[in-house]
Structure 1
Amino acid sequence: MLKTYLETSKQTIEQWLNTILKSPIPEYERLYESMNYSLLQGGKRIRPILTKAVLESMNMDASLYKEFLCALECIHTYSLVHDDLPAMDNDDYRRGNLTNHKVYGDGLAILAGDGLLTYAFQLCSENKTASANQKIKAIQCLATAAGPEGMVGGQAFDLLSEGKHIPLEELKVLHGGKTGALFNAAIELGLILSNAEKEKYTAYMTYANCLGLLFQITDDILDVTGTIEELGKTPGSDMRQDKSTYVSLLGLEGAQNEAHRVAQNAHSALSTLTDNTEILSAIIDYLMERTH
């Protein structure tokens, strides 16, 4: 069931993404081409799918809020474009294709990332269903997750930690920003747009925190165990850059055990809710079993 849900949701979200970036000015078309190059390359679309699943768990129609879901994917894609740059991770491949800067050059890749990030907030403002108050809360949620308190802060700490062997607690802080913040935002976005009761927030956000951590632990495991065909990028990049990871700190078996513990905590959080969280629960198991 989950496989079908993920595939149909991915197709729906990609149909929406295909319509959002059209250059209003002919002279800017190369920029929009660069933005679309990375935005439309595929990927799991797990973050907007999470928002969709939260909305649907409370019987909401996610299509009425598609601008927010697309905004989330724009922000995620911008982070990947910048993450791949020579000044950052210096990756040549992403999702099995050449990275943006390898096709369009460093300058245009930076601007494409900037464009995706800022356009995300324009998209949120253009939604016709959410109230003004919901838009303000949603934009604040996304901006906080993407900014120096969240993803940018985590990325900066990651950059400053290269070549160092940071302890586990600092690694959790790093990934709480770099990876976890946008997972949290994906869940919170669904809560904001569905006007969820405050009592539900604790359980959903505990789940979100666990999911972001689980994604990063399994990502670290895959960097060791995966292949370029499975990952769409060269495996072993963390080791080559001498980064601290859950595998380097805990060992492969220890990281796998930690993933199981975090997954169980995520399931426990959902078990306290009366909403239909079957899909959200299945996503936990999906992350545990993923190969890319």
Structure 2
Amino acid sequence: MKLLRYGAKGKEKPGLLDSEGRLRDLSSVIPDITGETISPKGLARLRKIKPESLPLVRGKPRIGACIANPQKFIAIGLNYSDHAAESGLQVPKEPVVFTKQVSCLSGPFDDVTLPPKSKKSDWEVELGVIIGTRAKNIKKADALKHVAGYCTINDLSEREFQAERSGQWTKGKSYDTFGPVGPWLVTADEVKDPQKLHMWLELNGKRVQNGSTSTMVFGVAHIVAYLSEFFTLMPGDIITTGTPPGVGMGMKPQRFLKPGDVMRLGIEGLGEQGQKVVRDK
């Protein structure tokens, strides 16, 4: 299934795509796409519904983040060896873990707003993992059983805030709109292998990132099990798993986002995003 949320910001409704790619309204069945509704029990209920029995959504409504109210938005850094190299950093021996504040969640086609003092905002196409069942101290062999689905994420980053202002990476990763998630949550049963997905990002029509999840240092199963050792993963939690090379920080000369730029990105089978860059007031 491809689950999504549509409508005005803060008033999104749940929906799904039918076999012909048409948006169907799920609001008569569930109140929203949440951790509860993507639990194994919740997904089993949705799979029994015939999409053609649901109302068609007319027009082209705004698409919101594909999951509502996650408790956590967790990120993994330097998880592609070639990206670590372009960043001038060593490949980590263990996953580099930081958080994005959930207030940065954004729709996949919403404008990206640069902080007023931003000079080094950057792009990162990443595979998103959305947890479906509580995971605590689990084994790697069992980890994927806890995944409800996958999505496309743009892990936007303000590099000066991240690396030059001391402290943790979180403050360079969490500005409002720095977490476009979606357009859809694709349930795990429709993703044969999360480690074999092509991913890309274009800036102003030029392909700048072109990679594959096959080159991750730590795969999805490893990451989910690893995180569960340190804190409990809850249904609806989002994990964004790192980016391949081609970010602005790694270019020579470096190239960072400016108002008017347009990003377009996608992951095989998980849908595309598109954002225009504006300056926040």
Normalized per residue, the structure richer in strand is: 2
Give the structure-2-normalised TM-score: 0.25
Give the structure-1-normalised TM-score: 0.24
Normalized per residue, the structure richer in helix is: 1
Name which structure has the greater RCO, CA cutoff 8 Å, separation 6+: 2
